[in-house]
Chains A and B, each alone.
Chain A
Amino acid sequence: NAGVMQNPRHLVRRRGQEARLRCSPMKGHSHVYWYRQLPEEGLKFMVYLQKENIIDESGMPKERFSAEFPKEGPSILRIQQVVRGDSAAYFCASSPGVSSYEQYFGPGTRLTVT
């Protein structure tokens, strides 16, 4: 069973461009979580999604950021008009459901905004 896949692993964008980060959960997992890790910091929760539903987006900036987890295909975290402060590592995790206490993490996407 393949682990959580994230791509790209590294992404460089110029200020004002759009960044799209993809996450394919483990097989059989219908819950996806996105976290952001700024340099020298711990991971911070951004958004929690189930298939076709956003359950909790309380950690996501109100502007420029959006997330989706469609019925088919990977979960997408989209950042519009990126700024230097968006440079960070973005981690996706998945789980089969709330009754499963463990979240399985992907390798992360390192976003650099120049």
Chain B
Amino acid sequence: AQTVTQSQPEMSVQEAETVTLSCTYDTSESDYYLFWYKQPPSRQMILVIRQEAYKQQNATENRFSVNFQKAAKSFSLKISDSQLGDAAMYFCAYRTLRGGSEKLVFGKGTKLTVNP
């Protein structure tokens, strides 16, 4: 079964600094998508960034970028120039189409604190 592991329950960063959140996953599929979601205190799930496994180029969205290492099954999120509004839970997720279904498998999350 697919699993997603986030090994950092909590992280903190100074405002304007850079922080990297780790994520590893396990799968036997060759084609898949990976996502990072942000969940602020409002609990709304907000898509931050996505990566298609067949693309070698790492995805970038403004201050957010990923380091996708397919062979190592690693998908880390880098947040540059951290802002107070970045404080939230961050979830790594894997999209599987196994068995004719479609679902997201989430990690347990990393709580990010941004210090002024």
Chain A: residues with CB nearer than 8 A to chain B?
Answer: 31, 33, 35, 41-45, 48, 55-56, 58-59, 89, 91, 93, 95, 98, 101-103, 105, 107-108, 110
Contact = CB atoms under 8 A, between A and B. Distances in A.
Nearest to B91: A42
Interface stretch (B59-67, B73-81, B104-112): B104-112
B103 A56 contact: yes
B85 interface: no
Nearest to B97: A98
Given A58-B101, A101-B50, A43 B106 contact: yes
Interface of B: 4, 33, 37, 42-45, 47, 50, 52, 91, 93, 95, 97, 99-109
A89 B106 CA distance: 15
Contact of A55 (B43, B100, B107): B100
Contact of A45 (B42, B50, B103): B103
B105 to A, nearest CB: 7
A101 B33 contact: yes
Contacts of B103: 33, 45, 48, 56, 59
Contacts of B42: 107
28 contacts: A31-B102, A42-B109, A43-B104, A44-B106, A45-B103, A45-B105, A48-B101, A48-B102, A48-B103, A55-B101, A56-B99, A56-B100, A56-B101, A56-B102, A59-B103, A91-B45, A93-B45, A93-B104, A98-B97, A101-B33, A102-B50, A103-B104, A105-B44, A105-B45, A107-B42, A108-B43, A108-B45, A110-B43
B43 A107 contact: yes
A59 B96 CA distance: 14
Given A45-B103, A55-B100, A56-B103, 11 more contacts: A42-B4, A42-B106, A45-B104, A48-B103, A56-B99, A93-B45, A98-B97, A101-B50, A107-B43, A108-B43, A110-B43
